[in-house]
Amino acid sequence: MEGNLSLVGYGLATIGPAIAVGLIFAAYINGVARQPEARPLLQPIAILGFALAEALAIFGLVLFFL
């Protein structure tokens, strides 16, 4: 069996952003559950946070191929 160690590295690198995205949406769901009328206010904030956290995983993907 052969392969590339950077594959494992990228797998490990996605753990951080994955936890971050989970936390962000957990907080968003919590907020909406407590106060449903705050949903339009919270949604862009949650998506923004998600996009910023996800960028780290994308960096990892790009570095893997470079």
Partner 1 sequence: MILAYAPQAASLPMVSGDEFVPPGPEIFYLPLIGEGEWAITEQMVWGGVSVVIICTALLMLTRNLSIVPSKSQFLLEGFYNFTRNGIARDMIGSKDFLRFVPLLFSLFTLILLNNWYGVLPPVMNPTYGRIGFAIAATVVVYVVYHWIGFKRYGFTGYFGHMIPEGLPGFIKPVIFPLELITYFITRPLTLALRLFGNMFAGHILIVLFVSAGAYFLTQDVVFKLLAVPTFLMAAIMWLFEALIQALQAYVFTLLSASYIAGALAEEH
- Give the number of C-alpha atoms closer than 13 A to the C-alpha of residue 33, restricted to the C-beta side: 6
Distance CA 1, CA 33 (A): 49
32 contacts 58 by C-beta, under 8 angstroms? no
**Taking the complex as a whole, how short is the minimal distance between the CB of residue 4 and partner 1, in angstroms?**
6
Interface pattern 3-42 for partner 1 (x via CB under 8 A) = xx--x--------------------------------x--
Binding site for partner 1 (CB under 8 A): 2-4, 7, 40, 44, 47-48, 50-52, 54-55, 58-59, 61-62, 65-66
